[in-house]
Chains A and B, each alone.
Chain A
Amino acid sequence: MKMRGQLFENMGAGNEVDERDKWFIDLRWLAILGVPAVVTVAGNFFGEVLPVRQLYLGVLVLAGYNFAFLLYWRKLVSKPREGRAKHKLFSNVQVATDLVMLTYFLHFSGSIENPFVYFFIFHMVIAGILLSNRSAYAHGVLVMLLIGSTALLENLKVLPHYHLSGFPDSEMIYNFKYVFGALSVLGSTLFITIFMSASIVNKLRDREAKLAVANKMLAEQDRLKSQYVLTVSHDLKSSVSTIQSCLKVVLKGMTGPVAPKTAEMLARAEKRSLYMLDFISDLLNLSSIRTDRNLRKTLVSISMIAERTVEQIKHRFTAKNLKFEFLDNLEEAIIYANEDSIERVFINLLENAVRYTPSGGRISLSLSNREGKAETTIKDNGIGISEEDQQNLFNDFYRAENARMIEKDGTGLGLSIVKQILEAHEGKIWFESTLGQGSRFVFSLPVVSGGKEAA
C-alpha cells in the first residue's frame, strides 16, 4: 500500500515538471512569432530610429536556444530516472535566459522608456507559480539588475540609447529622477506580483498536501477494514470448523462406539455446523464484495469459467438423475472480470437449479453473444417461483416459500451475492419463472473481445 502511494506521488511530480518545461518551450514559439510582428509594425511607425536588424537577430537567437532547449528536454524526458534537481535547474535556466533576452530586446527599443518593460510581470507570475519561492525572488532581483544596469549605463552614456521619438516625447533616459522612479515602480510591481502569485500557490500546495494526507488515511482505514474482515472470518470460521472436526471424529467411532440415537443427534449437529460454515462464507463474500468495489480483475474466457464450474458440479446432476445440457455458442469471448467471483455466480445459479429441480428433471446452461454482451442462460424445469416471491428474490436472506419447504437450510444470500458480483462487473441479471413449471435465469456481462455474434 505504502509503496504504491509513493510510486504515484513520484510519478505525479515528475510529470508536472516535464509538462512545465515543455510549456515554457511552447510559449516561447509564440514569442518567436510575436516579436517579429511587433518589430515589423513598430518599424513602420518609428522608421530608421528602430534598430530592426538587431531585433531580428534577437529573434534568431531566441529561436536557436529554444530549439536547443527542446532537444535537451527530450533527452531529460527519455530518462525518467534523472533527478528532480536537473529538472529544477533546467526550468530556472529557461526563465533566466528569457529575462536576458527580453532585456536585450528592450535595450534596442528604448529600454526603460519602452512600456513593454512591463512584460517582465509575466515572467514573474510564471516564476511565482511554477518555481520555488526562493528562485522566484532571485529572478526578480535578476530582472532589476539587468534592466537597472542597462538603464543606468544608458543614462551615463556608456551604452547607446535607442530613443523611440514620441514614445515618450523627450529622451527621458538622461533624466536620472525619471530612471530612478521608473525602476522603483517597476521593481515594486514585480516583487508584489511574485509575492501574490507565490502566496496563492503556497496555499494551494498546502491544501494539496492535506488532501494527500487525508487520502493516505482513507487507504489506511481501508486496510484496517480488510484486516477486520479477515480477523472475523478467521475467528468465526476456526471455531465452527473445530466444532465440526470434533463431531466428525466422534461420529467416525474413533473415540469408541456411539449409540445409534447419539450418532443421529451428533449427525444433526455436524450438519448444522457445516451449514453455519457456509453461512459465514456467504456473509463474508457478500460484505467483501460490497466493501471492496475494486475487485481484482483480469481478462478471462467466460466459456472456460463455465466449463470449469460444470466440471465441479457435474456429480450432483448424476446423483439426482438430472439431464444436463451445455451449449456454448460464444467461442472464446473474453471478459474483464474477477475469475473467482464469476465462478461463484455460475456455481450459485447452477446449485439453485439442482436444488430446486426434482430428480429426473432437466437443466440447461447456454452461452451466447448478444450485441456485445455475453449472455448466460440457466434453465430448469423445477419447482418455479411464485409471483409473490419473484419480487423479493434478490433481497438478502430472502427465501421463497416453496424453496424452504424443499430444503430447510439455506442462507438466502446466494442470489444477493450473484447480483452484487454482476453489478461490480457492469453486468445484469433477470429471470422468468412459472410456479411448478421451472425457471430461466439470464445474466449478461460486457465482452471485451472475441465471441461469435448470435445469428
Chain B
Amino acid sequence: MREKKLVLLADDDIDLVETMKIVLEAEGYEILAAYDTVSAFNKLKSEKPDVMVLDVMFGPSGKTNGLELVSKIRQDSSIAGTPILMITSVNLKLPVFDALPEMDGIKLPSDGTEKAGTDEIFTLDVPAYLPVDGFINKPAQPDELAEKVKALLAQKVSKWAGWKKK
C-alpha cells in the first residue's frame, strides 16, 4: 500500500499540469504526470494511480484523443476501474460532430446510433454516455479541482468499471 494517494495528471499542457500539481500536492497527494496518450496509458498500467485527471483534447489541437484513451482504458481489465476526471474546454452538450467519429466505442443511446447521419446525433447529451466519473471545465478552479479529485478518491472504483465497448 502506498502512503499517499497517487493522482495521474494527463494533459499536454505542461503549464496547466504544473498548476494542478501544486494544487493537488497541497492536498497531500502524490502526483504523476503524462504529456501524451501513450505514456499516460503506460503509467496507468505500471503505477496504477488512484485517480486520473484527463484532458478531452489531449494531443494535437482540435483532436479529442482523450475520448479514445477513455475507451481504451475501460477495456483493459487491469486498469478499467480507475476513476477518471475529465477536463473539458469544449461544450460537450452540443459539440463537435468532429469529435464523434473519434469516439469509437463510446456507447451512444440506441436511438442515437439508429439515426446516425441525421440531426439527432448532434443534440445528444454526450457527457451522459462517456464512461468517465466527473467533469471539470477550463479554466480549472483550484478549489473545484481539489474537491472533485477528493470525491473520486473516496469513490475508489469507477462506476464504469464494467463498461464494454459496443
Contact = CB atoms under 8 A, between A and B. Distances in A.
B62 A296 contact: no
B61 A235 contact: yes
Interface string A36-56: 000000000000000000000
A233 B90 contact: yes
B3 interface: no
Contact of B62 (A230, A255, A298, A340): A230
Contacts of A179: none
Given A230-B62, A254-B142, A298-B123, A238 B90 contact: no
Interface stretch (B14-22, B41-49, B70-78, B154-162): B14-22
A4 B139 contact: no
B139 A249 contact: no
B139 A241 contact: yes
Interface in B48-62: 57, 61-62
A227 B22 contact: no
A143 B11 CA distance: 75
A295 B38 CA distance: 37
Contact of B116 (A3, A231, A298): A3
B94 interface: yes
A238 B66 CA distance: 15
A242 B139 contact: yes
B90 A246 contact: no
A252 B142 contact: yes
B116 A234 contact: no
Interface in A303-351: 340
A226 B140 CA distance: 25
B98 A238 contact: no
Contact of B89 (A234, A254, A340): A234
A4 B22 contact: no
A252 B90 CA distance: 26
Contact of B96 (A3, A230, A242, A249): A230
Name which of A231, A234, A298 has the most chain B CB atoms within 10 A of its CB. A234
Nearest to A341: B94
A230 B62 CA distance: 6
A241 B96 CA distance: 20
B141 interface: yes
Contacts of B93: 340
Interface in B102-141: 116-119, 122-123, 138-141
B147 interface: no
A268 interface: no
Interface string A224-256: 001100110111011011101110110010110
B123 A242 contact: no
B94 A296 contact: yes
Contacts of A340: 93-94
Given A238-B138, A245-B140, A248-B142, A223 B98 contact: yes
A7 interface: yes
Contact of B16 (A223, A226, A231, A245): A245
Given A226-B98, A340-B94, A3 B139 contact: no
Contact of B13 (A227, A230, A238, A254): A238
B1 interface: no
Interface of A: 1, 3-4, 7, 223, 226-227, 230-231, 233-235, 237-238, 240-242, 244-246, 248-249, 252, 254-255, 277, 296, 298, 340
